[in-house]
Copies of this chain bind each other. A is one copy, B any other.
Amino acid sequence: MRPQVLIIGCGFGGLEAARALRAADVDITVVDKTNHHLFQPLLYQVATAGLSAPSIAAPIRHLFRSQRNVTTLLGEVVALDAAARTATLSDGTRLHWDHLIVAAGATHSYFGRDDWAAHAPGLKTLDDAFEIRRRVLLAFEAAEREDDPARRAALMQFIVVGGGPTGVELAGTLAEIARHTLPGEFRRIDPRQARVLLVEGSPRVLQAMPEALSERAREQLAALGVEVRLAARVTGIDADGLDIATASGTERLASRCVVWAAGVAASPLGRVLAQATGCALDRAGRVVVEPDLSIQGHPGIQVIGDLAAAHSHAPGREPQPVPGVSPAAKQMGRCAAANIQRRLRGEATQAFRYRDYGNLATIGRHSAVVDLGTPVGPLRFSGYAAWLFWLFAHVYFLIGFRNRFVVLMDWAWAYWTYDRSARVVASAALNGASRASDAPA
Contacts and interface: CB of A to CB of B under 8 A. Distances in A.
B62 A141 contact: no
Contacts of A145: 73-75, 89, 91, 93
A52 interface: yes
A141 B74 contact: yes
A319 B65 CA distance: 58
B433 A421 contact: no
Contact of A423 (B62, B185, B425): B62
Nearest to A423: B59
Nearest to A186: B61
Interface residues of A, number: 58
Contact of A406 (B71, B409, B424): B409
A415 B62 CA distance: 17
A248 interface: no
Nearest to A130: B426
Given A35-B141, A93-B145, A427 B127 contact: yes
Given A74-B433, A185-B62, A402 B421 contact: yes
Interface string A49-79: 0001111010101101110001111111000
Given A90-B430, A409-B409, A35 B424 contact: yes
Contact of A54 (B64, B424, B430): B424
A137 B35 contact: yes
A430 B75 contact: yes
Contact of A430 (B36, B76, B144, B430): B76
21 contacts: A35-B137, A35-B141, A35-B424, A36-B425, A52-B54, A53-B424, A54-B421, A59-B423, A61-B185, A62-B419, A64-B185, A65-B184, A65-B185, A74-B142, A74-B433, A89-B145, A90-B431, A127-B426, A402-B413, A402-B421, A406-B409
Contacts of A277: none
Contacts of A423: 35-36, 54, 59, 62
A73 B70 CA distance: 50
B430 A74 contact: yes
A86 interface: no
B35 A425 contact: yes
Contacts of A61: 185-186
Given A34-B425, A54-B424, A424-B35, A138 B59 contact: no
Nearest to A57: B424
A125 interface: yes
Contact of A126 (B184, B186, B424): B424
A54 B33 CA distance: 25
B62 A428 contact: no
A187 interface: yes
A395 to B, nearest CB: 16
Nearest to A417: B402
Interface string A5-38: 0000000000000000000000000000111100
A345 interface: no
A73 to B, nearest CB: 6
A388 interface: no
A188 interface: yes
A245 interface: no
A125 B428 contact: yes
A362 to B, nearest CB: 21
A52 B145 CA distance: 29
A422 interface: yes
Contacts of A66: 184
Given A36-B424, A36-B425, A53-B422, 15 more contacts: A34-B428, A52-B55, A54-B423, A59-B424, A65-B185, A72-B144, A73-B141, A74-B141, A76-B430, A91-B145, A93-B145, A126-B426, A127-B427, A402-B413, A406-B409
Contacts of A130: 426
Nearest to A184: B65
Contacts of A185: 59, 61-62, 64-65, 72
Contacts of A127: 426-428
A225 to B, nearest CB: 21
A184 B71 CA distance: 11
Nearest to A46: B426
